[in-house]
């Protein structure tokens, strides 16, 4: 049930976009962002704005090219997204926000139980992720590839097969 304190906590009216980080969210996420590399030029991009751009794409489902002009360029946002996905930063941010939300709701940091429905259990019993037995299937090949393996002229073989069929 939504109470006034819940509505106040979920209110995003003061932000430019609903996906932007609030000051409290940024305070929680900022320590998880890796520092700039040593040596070379100093980081000139505003990392909070890069995260706002990433969250904008993730929340709206738009293409990187469709980022609004007041957010960092698509190449900058996408490069940081790929880097942070590769080094685990996005996973750490997700986990920190997840734990904070659960504790804020008065729950334990990690769930103590899980529910698996019968559909999921049945699908897992059939033999894992693939139900196709690839070893028993014969490889499909084109006539040209088959003719090349036999060492003959592919045009002649295909014309003979076409004439006889």
Calculate the alpha carbon distances from 5 to 11, 13, 122, 141 in Å. 10, 15, 42, 66
CB 149 within 8 A of CB 157: no
pLDDT of the residue at 143: 62
Tell me: pLDDT of 119 over 60. yes
Half-sphere exposure of 4 (CA within 13 A, CB side): 0
Banded pLDDT at 149 (limits 50, 70, 90): low
Q: How far apart are CA 26 and CA 48, in angstroms?
A: 7
**32, 89 Cβ separation under 8 angstroms:** yes
Residue 50 clears pLDDT 70, i.e. is over it:
yes
Is residue 112 pLDDT above 70, yes or no?
Answer: yes
- pLDDT tops 80 at residue 16: yes
Closest CA to 74 of 97, 52, 94, 53: 53
Spatial contact of 133 and 61, defined as CB atoms under 8 Å apart: no
In this structure, of 15-29, 45-59, 101-115, 116-130, the range with the lowest mean pLDDT score is 116-130
Contact 18, 59 (CB under 8 A): yes
Which of 21-35, 38-52, 112-126, 142-156 is predicted least confidently? 142-156
């Amino acid at each position: 049930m939504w109470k006034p304190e819940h509505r106040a906590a979920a209110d995003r009216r003061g932000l430019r976009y609903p996906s932007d980080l609030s000051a409290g969210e940024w305070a929680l996420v900022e320590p998880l962002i890796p520092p700039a590399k040593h040596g070379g030029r100093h980081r000139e991009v505003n990392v909070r704005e890069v995260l706002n751009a990433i969250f904008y794409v993730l929340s709206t489902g738009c293409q990187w090219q469709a980022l609004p002009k007041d957010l960092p360029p698509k190449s900058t946002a996408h490069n940081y997204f790929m880097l942070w996905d590769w080094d685990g930063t996005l996973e750490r941010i997700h986990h920190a926000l997840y734990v904070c939300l659960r504790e804020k709701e008065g729950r334990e940091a990690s769930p103590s139980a899980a529910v698996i429905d019968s559909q999921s259990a049945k699908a897992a019993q059939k033999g894992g992720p693939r139900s196709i037995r690839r070893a028993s299937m014969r490889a499909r090949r084109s006539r040209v590839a088959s003719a090349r393996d036999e060492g003959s002229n592919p045009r002649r073989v295909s014309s003979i097969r076409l004439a006889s069929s």
